[in-house]
């Protein structure tokens, strides 16, 4: 088996109790790299894309990349790939921490979970020893409680746990998988799929080593890339100092900081909830880094009442802050802690609550529907904390919120107030403020998402070069390039944040040295394009129509009312045809036979 791959996958059938170990064909590793790409290939080949995501027939794949578990900078990532219950699309949710590296050291690149256990179980992995164990005593526990219990049961504090909380058990459409207590495979509802299988956790302890074919050469390549990361102003200074919340004031100043359910792009209380405020108010205790990470963007915080944990990061702080009109940083941090403990995607949780707030303030949700819950008013710190808990347990109005903003708004006859794409809630950048990022939202294979092609990097941050935010010409080519490179990064098993300092040449160097494959830059980019098109094919077979490559009409018809981007709407009718053309798809958004042959996907 080449290089840093384990070369093996675990196939665990929870219905029958069968556990098998299989070799992964070398050809697939080269063509799909690993991680997101490899798992998407297995899912495409083995799963009927029309399957109900919460049925036993769906498959849940935990997967690492060839750089996972190595000293490569940020080489701690793993992904959870399945058909997502929130969107109905192919789902790939990415997480850091230490769990992925531990799985690799145990000797596996991937776990494919099939079927459904009759009662709650967890999977225990200690190198070659793999068992399905009873988890009845763990069901109902928070992610923190189950992590502590399993580490105690294993008797090794260095073991790593990935698990679900009550939200996953209760099949909340945007439940996530939490590992190492604070790291989340957060989006698209992968935690609900885990819960639907009665799988509470996977605990891993590995004692093996992950070695490159030429360790000295690999060490030199790694040293060079770490040096680039440390010298870069974003990865060497901005992210270590304030974490991702360094973005609050930047995005607000540029007029695309979504406020009160995306009604405007400027939040007047940003100074109360930004990364700087987290430091000034004394809540930030220290940085925290994932496995092999020289950046250390994680935040460890503590509230005046003694509550402590990781976060909030930029997206989370915004999701419970500006988009809900809340300026209470204590309530925002508390809601963040609850999401980690209960197993909720913070973006979808906050944006769904914001959607409900707008529906309520417009009179579409009657007060009596809230039962004993607080009024859903913009600015209510009580509401964001109360309904976060209610969602996880599906209590009262939380049961409706647990379906996500699109289904919620549709219940009340106004789906247009759901700020989502393909039923997944949008993150913390108003698309009217950046045309390229808007196109990325509309075309993302997993629904509304900012980390499938982070166009904020060139359009706002000027990396690798500064683009005009409202320029339309040429943006389709940029979006395609960013999407393909991101597919490579996810498949390699490193963090997207490394791309502020590294480019495709750097990733090619790392992959060549780690795997032993004589990759060229062109071949690696072709891998990324192959992965993107494979995901597109899955979605088309799943019934996701090209017409869903769109945005809520607010962004297409309602100009931003204030700020530097005042008057802007998204010019999607100009952007989308060019994107399909650049992709080599038909004018209706279908990959052509010629393109599929070129990518060996015909």
341: region left, alpha or beta (phi > 0 left; psi from -120 to 50 alpha): alpha
pLDDT of residue 399: 98
Q: Do domains 8-205 and 240-424 have the same CATH topology?
A: no
Tell me the C-alpha to C-alpha distance, in Å, between residue 580 and each of 271, 347, 351, 533, 596.
40, 28, 29, 12, 14
Residues 6+ apart with CB under 8 A from 66: 3, 4, 5, 29, 33, 34, 492, 493, 511, 514, 515
Give the mean model confidence (pLDDT) for residues 511-536: 98
Task: Please state at what angle helix 475-492 crosses helix 521-541, rounded to 10 degrees.
Answer: 100
Distance CA 55, CA 485 (A): 33
Give the mean model confidence (pLDDT) for residues 94-99: 98
> Residue 422: exposed, middle, or buried by beta-carbon count in 10 A (0-12, 13-18, 19+)?
buried
In the predicted model, what is the mean pLDDT of the chain? 97
pLDDT of residue 477: 98
| The CATH fold of domain 434-500+520-598 | 1.10.599
The number of residues in the chain equals 602
Which three-class secondary structure state does DSSP give residue 544?
coil
Which three-class secondary structure state does DSSP give residue 202?
strand
DSSP 237-295: IIHHHHGGGGHHHHHHHTT---BTTTTBS--TTHHHHSHHHHHHTT-EEEEE--TT-SS
- Domain ranges within the chain, ordered by starting residue: 8-205, 240-424, 434-500+520-598
Give the mean model confidence (pLDDT) for residues 192-209: 98
| The CATH fold of domain 240-424 | 1.10.569
pLDDT of residue 249: 97
CATH class of 8-205: alpha beta
- Which is more confidently placed, 595 or 238? 595
pLDDT of residue 242: 85
Tell me the C-alpha to C-alpha distance, in Å, between residue 208 and each of 4, 76, 104, 377, 453.
12, 15, 8, 53, 34
Distance CA 525, CA 481 (A): 9
Distance CA 189, CA 176 (A): 6
Give the mean model confidence (pLDDT) for residues 66-95: 98
Interval 98-133: pLDDT, tens: 999 999 999 999 999 999 999 999 999 999 999 999
pLDDT level of residue 1 (50, 70, 90 thresholds): low
- Residues pairing with 288 in the sheet: 298
Interval 48-73: pLDDT, tens: 999 999 999 999 999 999 999 999 99
Residues 6+ apart with CB under 8 A from 526: 599
Which three-class secondary structure state does DSSP give residue 425?
strand
Which three-class secondary structure state does DSSP give residue 141?
coil
> Residue 331: exposed, middle, or buried by beta-carbon count in 10 A (0-12, 13-18, 19+)?
buried
Interval 265-284: pLDDT, tens: 999 999 999 999 999 999 99
Interval 308-340: pLDDT, tens: 999 999 999 999 999 999 999 999 999 999 999
Q: How far, in whole angstroms, is CA 77 from its chain's centroid?
A: 11
Which three-class secondary structure state does DSSP give residue 30?
helix
Q: Could you tell me what percentage of the chain is helix, strand and coil, using 3-state DSSP and rounding each to the nearest 5?
A: 45, 15, 40
Residue entry with tokens 């009109």 = 325
> Residue 555: exposed, middle, or buried by beta-carbon count in 10 A (0-12, 13-18, 19+)?
buried
pLDDT level of residue 77 (50, 70, 90 thresholds): very high
pLDDT of residue 560: 98
Give the mean model confidence (pLDDT) for residues 440-449: 97
């Amino acid at each position: 088996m080449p290089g840093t791959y384990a070369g093996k996958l675990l196939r665990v059938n929870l219905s029958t109790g069968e556990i098998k170990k299989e070799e992964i064909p070398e050809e697939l590793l080269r063509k799909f790299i690993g991680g997101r790409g490899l798992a998407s290939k297995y899912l495409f080949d083995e799963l009927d894309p029309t399957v109900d995501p919460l049925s036993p027939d769906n498959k849940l794949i935990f997967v690492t990349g060839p750089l996972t578990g190595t000293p490569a900078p940020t080489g701690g990532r793993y992904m959870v790939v399945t058909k997502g219950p929130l969107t109905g699309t192919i789902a790939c949710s990415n997480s850091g921490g230490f769990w992925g590296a531990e799985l690799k050291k145990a000797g596996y690149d991937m776990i494919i979970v099939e079927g459904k256990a009759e009662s709650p179980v967890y999977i225990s992995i200690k190198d070659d020893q793999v068992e399905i164990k009873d988890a009845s005593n763990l069901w109902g526990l928070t992610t923190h409680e189950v992590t502590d219990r399993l580490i105690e049961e294993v008797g090794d504090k260095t073991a790593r746990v990935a698990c679900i909380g009550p939200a996953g058990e209760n099949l909340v459409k945007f439940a996530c998988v939490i590992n190492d207590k604070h790291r989340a495979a957060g989006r698209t509802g992968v935690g609900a799929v885990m819960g639907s299988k009665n799988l509470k956790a996977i605990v891993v302890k590995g004692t093996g080593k992950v070695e490159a074919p030429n360790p000295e050469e690999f060490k030199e390549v790694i040293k060079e890339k770490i040096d680039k990361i440390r010298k870069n102003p974003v990865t060497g200074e901005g992210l270590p100092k304030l974490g991702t919340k360094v973005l609050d004031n930047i995005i607000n100043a540029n007029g695309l900081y979504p406020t009160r359910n995306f009604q405007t792009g400027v939040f007047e209380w940003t100074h109360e909830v930004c990364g700087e405020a987290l430091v000034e108010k004394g809540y930030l205790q220290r940085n925290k880094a994932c496995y092999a990470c020289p950046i250390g963007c994680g935040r460890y915080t503590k509230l005046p009442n003694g509550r402590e944990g990781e976060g909030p990061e930029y997206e989370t702080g915004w999701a419970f802050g500006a988009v809900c009109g809340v300026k209470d940083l204590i309530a925002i941090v508390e809601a963040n802690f609850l999401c980690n403990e209960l197993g909720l995607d913070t973006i979808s949780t906050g944006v769904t609550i914001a959607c409900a707030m707008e529906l309520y303030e417009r009179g579409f949700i009657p007060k009596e529907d809230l039962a004993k819950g607080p009024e859903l008013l913009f600015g209510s710190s009580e509401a964001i904390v109360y309904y976060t808990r209610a969602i996880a347990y599906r209590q009262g109005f939380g049961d409706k919120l647990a379906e996500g903003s699109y289904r919620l708004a549709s219940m009340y006859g106004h789906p247009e107030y759901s700020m989502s794409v393909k039923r997944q809630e949008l993150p913390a950048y108003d698309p009217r403020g950046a045309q390229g990022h808007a196109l990325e939202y509309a075309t993302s294979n997993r629904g509304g998402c900012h980390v499938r092609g982070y166009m904020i990097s060139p359009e706002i941050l000027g990396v690798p070069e500064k683009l005009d935010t409202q320029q339309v010409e040429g943006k389709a080519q940029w979006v395609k390039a960013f999407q393909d490179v991101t597919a490579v990064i996810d498949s390699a098993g490193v963090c997207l944040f490394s791309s502020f300092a590294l480019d495709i040449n750097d990733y090619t160097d790392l992959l060549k040295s780690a795997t032993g494959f004589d990759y060229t830059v062109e071949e690696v980019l072709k891998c990324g394009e192959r992965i993107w098109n494979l995901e597109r094919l899955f979605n088309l077979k799943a019934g996701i129509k090209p017409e869903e490559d769109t945005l809520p009409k607010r962004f297409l018809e309602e100009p931003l009312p204030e700020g530097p981007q005042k008057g802007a709407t998204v010019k999607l009718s100009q952007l989308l045809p060019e994107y399909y053309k650049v992709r080599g798809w038909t004018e209706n958004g279908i990959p052509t036979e010629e393109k599929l042959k070129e990518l060996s996907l015909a």
